[in-house]
Chain A
Amino acid sequence: MKPLKHIFILLAAALCIGVSSCSKVIDITIPADAEQVVVEGTIETNVPPVVILTKSARFFDNIQINNLGSYFIHGAAIKITASDGQEVELIELCLQNLNLSPEDAQTVLSAFGFTSVDSGKVPDVCVYTVPDIATYFTSGQCSFMGKERTTYNLDIMAPGFKSSSDSIHVTSSTYIPKSIGVDSLGFKEHPNPAYRDSMISCYAYFSVPDTFGNFVRYWTKRNSERFYAPLSQSVYDDRLFVGLTIGLPVERGQPRSGDFDINTYSYFWKGDTITVKWGNIDNKVYDFYYTLENDGGDSPFSSPVKIKTNINNGLGVWAGYATQYSTIIAPK
């Protein structure tokens, strides 16, 4: 019911005579809240695991790109154990220690979702990954990569926020299901004739298994841009479509912090090379993103949503993806 609620908020805004005059900045005193470990971990099929460890922070500490590093947790011991018996201890790699060129540093930073405007000041952004990550970049192979139908247990011993001896134990588990990709991609013309010359609607055709319990998250990529998740919602379950072979529109992903243009929203441009990354996930990963993407805050039209997490003693998500990629070029 999220779209309907958003429409009500729009309507309320329309009622508010001169919207800008109806809102004002106020001072509120925020009570102290305990800092928590935040996990942003992924393990994809045929890709080594990557874990970003940060901590939650109290309002109203403004975040600056230059102090971004202060949110990262360094020196954690992270171990991943797979249900097939394989295990790996991750190492920490920090951007500042990699001696990357400013351009490469920008590329890596943008992969985390950040864009530094000052190439001279690269924040101390770190990730945890497998020790032989370099081999993966050169050969596409390494000692530990995600496999379908496998459970991955995550065990983190993070240094305490007040003293490093007071460590925090964080655990999680995720399952990479069987990969069920899209059957094909296709196009339909834009419903509005005014945009038909420049924009096009991309469709994904797929067969949904006839047993419940399938979840998916997808991203799209235009040409050489990076992958972005759709703005409205990136995760779907199979409740409406179980057992069907169906074609549904693919919403063009875009950065959440970017400008929103209702005229171009969700469509692709003619001539685009479109890549759809389709990742099958387990229900807990679905729950995390479904609650994360539907939190409308506390207003007369909505209640705040506590984001569901599969992290014990922390926030965030440890997500396994059975990924497949499909590419198509939009006709001019």
Chain B
Amino acid sequence: MKSFAFSLLFLFPFSFLQAQTAAKYTVSGYIKDATNGESLMGASVYVTELNKGTNTNDYGFYSLTLPAGNYTLRISYVGFAVQTKTLELNKDTRLNIEMGSTVQEVQEVVITGERKGENVESTDMGKQEITIEQAKSLPALLGEVDVLKVIQLLPGIQAAGEGNSGFYVRGGGPDQNLVLLDGAVVYNTGHLFGFFSVFNSDAIKNTTVIKGGMPANYGGRISSVLDISMKEGNMKKWNVEGGIGLISSRLTIQGPIKKDKCSFIVSARRTYIDLLLRPILPKIGNGEFAGNEYYFYDINAKINYRINDRDRLYLSGYFGRDVFNFGDPGGNFKLNFPWGNATATLRWNHLFNDRLFMNFQLIYNDFGFKANTSFQDIKFSLNSSVREATAKMDFDYSPLLGHIMQFGWQYNFHVFTPYQASGSAGDVNFKTTNQDKKFAHETALYFLDDFEVNSRIKINAGLRASLFNFMGPFSKIVFDGGRAIDTLDYKPGEHIQTYWGLEPRLAMRVKVDKESSVKIGATMNQQYIHLVSSSTTTLPIDLWVPSTKTVKPQIGVQAAIGYFRNFKDDMIETSVEVYYKHLWNQIEYGESAVGNITVDVEDLFTFGSGYSTGAEFFVKKAKGKWTGWIGYTLAWTWRKFPQINDGKVFLARYDRRHDISIVNMYEINKHWKVSATWVFATGQRTTLPVSFFLHEGDVHYVYGKRNWYRLPPYHRLDLGFTYVIIPKKKRKIDFYSDITVSVYNAYNRMNPYFIYIDPKGSIGGTAGTEDEDKGELKFRAKQVSLFPILPSVTWNFKF
């Protein structure tokens, strides 16, 4: 640790020294998509004469500081024709570049290649980018294109369950993934209990996932980062796109408010299962389903305003809701249950000079649910939320070619509202006790330096310092055996608990030759807010909680080593990564915990540690008519909790020994595209009962060791067919449309969703049933499967 800090101290001033000893000039600017003015993040600017280059940052800005001279810049980006610019550099130069698409403008962008040698050149480990075009090319469950399901096809990332958009990364829990939408944390990523993600594919520009080696500019979670950026809005012309699918439809409108100055995008989506089922439900059975409905909708919107060449403002937002209404026909019980996220981001990009770029963000986000219920004349209203206000400032400084520094700070104010219930029984009102809001401040400072030591070695070293304060006002009654034994009472602003931590991050690339490199990485992360779920499906009723006196920050340390090699001029990229991850202060519900709105949820927790190790093999064909990848993961994930499984180590529920994904996309001609994905995964672990006992004439279960049973393996083939309709005659308005057919689970594998014990019959025999005269109770294990073969068709259009 000491030597690491020392090397940072050493390197930082050294790099400035270097910057100032030679007379150099800077070429900088934004790289944009010529068709719509969208800035392109991660585009490559390569100086041919020096065999070196840089990439644009998240906002499309690049900066290269070079000795005076004549240069040829080679600019490339996925799906765009490579551009070459010659440059006589004798002063600081602004060079904004607009990239043209390689294919017809109105068609879907085809993946033609990635940044030159990026897989081998960068210090990134466990990092993958998914373009929305890739996501759209792949078959989708019920035709709903979902980036979260696409990232699950990468090695080291696994789905939280059948058809679920939740994910686990390298043995970490679902709350350990930092999911960002335009910089705002998304607390609940799933609609319909996780079957569909909240990210509308039409509104998304890019998705980056980092499953290990998290750079210091990211923090607050210990497993991974999923950074999703929204489209900015077409600066050139009006554009409408949408799709009509089996369960939902979507529409996006974007265009310039003032050409090349200000643009907007609005994208909306809504399901219509409720509308389709409304006339049918009363006719099912005895009408017991009448009045039940479910729908979700979401809206993404963004305005972007280019004030001048140095300043740019963005205002973006997301609002999504799931609504579930339920009632029994007897009028006994009624439930209105809306939940969802809302985020808003105000972003200011400012160029101090050609080398120093600033991004300042003010972010607000809110995730919450309400449950309004009535049972006879008892009315009951339950709500819970997590709200967060964030201010964040990031700087990118490019002192030299091949050298980028990033530094910044972040401040979050968290407000956690646990289950707060109020209700009335007749004229009497009641409300929950012990469910005070919890307030916390989280602050972080970071610095990272990405530099080339020499042509073989490149280092990305960083340090993040984080501080967390759990503050008053807060009061709590302490119970023991149901009796109140103490009351804790903290005044507003009073410090209740403070935690801090230093989080060093290091990644190093050593080039073996032109086409291969070895990379090593080590990171330490702290996580101060937590989501503990009693289920694999992250439900909206699961609570986010802060670190308190009882709940300590989660700490994760990960070390990885990888070999990266490209073949055939980067046409084929391969990598092998081996990792080990150790997690401290992990949180689970206790073995006897039952969720209860009157109990502070942290009193139901138990704490332990976890570790996981694995190897990930990845082969990707990045260019050509046929693209795709094969990923294989071999992994082990363990947990150890003193209060679970008698303190003995157990395999985590999502321990998965083997995981294979084969992804193929093939463009047959300009009309037809086909795709196929096949996944295989070792079955997940579950805890089944091993014995039973009788009590008051009923049978009750005694469970075996934690996660002792492994479900049968999971495998599935999905197929996708896209037919592009190209108008025969050129029209005034270019109208593009396609018909996409997806077949989910093509060979109808009855994959295990869960297993339960199904008692059949009864000890005494139940009158009027087939068991009446048997007097026998039999136990059977039943496996439930969720999705059989599911074909779907979607019509997409764009004009």
Using a CB–CB cutoff of 8 Å, the interface residues on chain A facing chain B are 1-5, 7-8, 10-12, 15-18, 21-28, 30-31, 33, 35-36, 38, 40, 54-60, 62-66, 68, 71, 112-118, 188, 190-192, 195, 201, 211-215, 229, 237, 239-242, 244-249, 255-259, 262-267, 282-284, 286-287, 290-292, 294-295, 297-308, 315-317
Q: State whether A295 touches B371 (Cβ < 8 A).
A: no
A10 to B560 alpha-carbon distance, docked (Å)? 43
Q: A247-B426, A262-B330 are in contact. Are A306 and B592 (CB under 8 A)?
A: yes
A292 to B690, CA, bound (A): 16
Provide the bound-state CA to CA distance between A54 and B691, in Å.
13
Nearest CB of chain A from residue B480's CB, rounded to whole Å = 9
Q: Is the CB of B704 within 8 A of A33?
A: yes
Contacts of A31 in B (CB 8 A): 690, 704-705, 708
Interface mask (B759-770 → A, CB under 8 Å = 1, otherwise 0): 000111110100
The docked-state distance in angstroms from the alpha carbon of A116 to that of B755 is 31
- Complex Cα distance, B787 from A16, in Å, reads 6
Contact B757 A1 (CB under 8 A): no
B698 pairs with A257, CB closer than 8 A: yes
**Is B788 in contact with A56, judged by CB distance below 8 angstroms?**
no
In the assembled complex, 14 residue pairs joining A and B whose CB atoms fall closer than 8 Å, in A order, are A7-B326, A54-B693, A64-B763, A65-B775, A114-B697, A191-B376, A212-B483, A240-B432, A244-B430, A248-B378, A262-B328, A286-B482, A297-B689, A306-B591
B425:A246 contact, CB within 8 angstroms = yes
B657 an interface residue at 8 Å Cβ cutoff? no
Residue B678 interfacial (CB < 8 Å)? no
Shortest CB-to-CB span from B59 to chain A, Å, is: 39
Query: Would A22 and B432 count as touching, CB distance under 8 A?
Result: no
Q: How far is the CA of A4 from the CA of B538 in the complex (A)?
A: 13
Known: A33-B691, A65-B763, A229-B696. 19 other contacts (CB 8 A): A5-B539, A10-B326, A38-B695, A56-B692, A116-B775, A212-B483, A212-B484, A213-B482, A240-B431, A248-B378, A257-B698, A259-B768, A265-B330, A284-B481, A299-B754, A300-B537, A301-B535, A308-B592, A316-B695
**Across the interface, do B776 and A15 meet the contact criterion of CB distance under 8 Å?**
no
Q: Which of A36, A213, A248, A283 contacts B484 (CB 8 A)?
A: A213
Query: Is B238 positioned at the interface, with any CB of A under 8 Å from its CB?
Result: no
B22 at the interface (CB under 8 A from A): no
Report whether A239 and B690 are in contact in the complex, using a CB–CB cutoff of 8 Å.
no
CB distance from B321 to the nearest CB of A (A): 16
B426 nearest in chain A by CB position? A247
The 8 Å CB contact of A23, one of B421, B757, B777, B784, is: B784
Q: Contact at A40–B695, with CB atoms within 8 Å?
A: yes
Q: Output the nearest chain A residue to B377 by Cβ-Cβ distance.
A: A188
Knowing A4-B541, A60-B780, A304-B689, the reply to whether A239 touches B754 (Cβ < 8 A) is no
CB distance from B777 to the nearest CB of A (A): 5
* A38–B479 touching, CB < 8 Å: no
Q: Return the 6 tightest CB-CB contacts between A and B, nearest first.
A: A113-B697, A115-B764, A192-B331, A239-B598, A65-B775, A213-B483
Q: Is B702 among interface residues, defined by CB-CB distance under 8 A? A: yes
Number of residues of chain B lying within 8 A (CB) of chain A: 109
| Contact yes or no, B784 A68, CB < 8 A | no
B756 within 8 Å of A (CB atoms): yes
Q: How far is the CA of A241 from the CA of B424 in the complex (A)?
A: 10
Q: Are A23 and B782 in contact (CB under 8 A)?
A: yes
Residues of B within 8 A of A304 (CB): 687, 689, 701, 703
The answer to whether A237 and B598 touch (CB under 8 A), given A113-B697, A291-B592, A308-B592, is yes
Chain B residue at minimum C-beta to C-beta distance from A10:
B326
Chain A contacts for B694, CB-based, 8 A = 38, 40, 54, 63, 71
Looking at the assembled complex, report how far the CB atom of B408 sits from the nearest CB atom of chain A, in whole angstroms.
39
Q: Is B512 part of the contact surface with A, judged by Cβ < 8 Å?
A: no
Which single residue of chain A is at the shortest CB-CB distance from B373? A3
- Residues of chain A with a CB closer than 8 A to B5's CB: none
Q: Are A303 and B589 in contact (CB under 8 A)?
A: yes
Hey, which chain B residues are within 8 Å of A27, CB to CB? 781
- Contacting pair A297 B193 (CB below 8 A): no
A212 touches B691 (CB 8 A): no
A245-B782 in contact given A2-B594, A213-B483, A257-B766 (Cβ < 8 Å): no
A213-B481, A263-B330, A298-B686 given; A246·B692 CB < 8 A: no
Cα distance A261–B425 in the bound complex, in angstroms: 25
Does B117 sit at the interface, judged by CB under 8 A? no
Please give the distance in Å from B177's CB to the nearest CB on chain A.
18
Q: Which residues of B contact A282 (CB under 8 A)?
A: 481
A62 touches B777 (CB 8 A): yes
Instruction: Check B537–A298 contact: CB distance below 8 A.
Output: no
Contacts of B591 in A (CB 8 A): 305-306
User: Chain B 258-289, CB within 8 Å of chain A: the 1/0 string?
Assistant: 00000000000000000000000000001010
Q: A241–B378 Cα gap in the complex (Å)?
A: 13
Asked if residues A249 and B378 are in contact (CB atoms below 8 Å), the reply is yes
Complex Cα gap A116–B709 (Å): 35
| Complex CA distance for A299 and B786, rounded to whole angstroms | 12
Q: How far does the alpha carbon of A16 sit from the alpha carbon of B193 in the complex, in Å?
A: 14
Which residues in B have their C-beta under 8 angstroms from that of A303?
534-535, 589, 687
Known A25-B780, A240-B432, A248-B378; contact A259-B698, beta-carbon cutoff 8 A:
no
Q: Flag if B693 contacts A240 (CB, 8 Å).
A: no
Q: Are A1 and B695 closer than 8 Å at their CB atoms?
A: no
Contact of B691 among A16, A21, A56, A249 (CB under 8 A): A56
Q: Which residue from chain A places its CB closest to the CB of B161 in the assembled complex?
A: A300
Which residues of chain B are near A117, meaning CB under 8 Å? 764-765, 772-773, 775
Contact: B755 with A26, CB < 8 Å?
Answer: yes
Which residue of A is nearest B374, CB measured?
Answer: A191
List chain A residues, Cβ under 8 A from B728: none
A57 to chain B: which residues have CB within 8 Å?
Answer: 691-693
Whether the Cβ atoms of A283 and B482 lie closer than 8 Å is yes
Please name the residue on chain A nearest to B432 by beta carbon.
Answer: A240
Does chain A have a CB within 8 A of B324?
yes
Q: Which of B419, B428, B483, B790 is in CB contact (< 8 Å) with A246?
A: B428
Q: Are A245 and B692 in contact (CB under 8 A)?
A: no
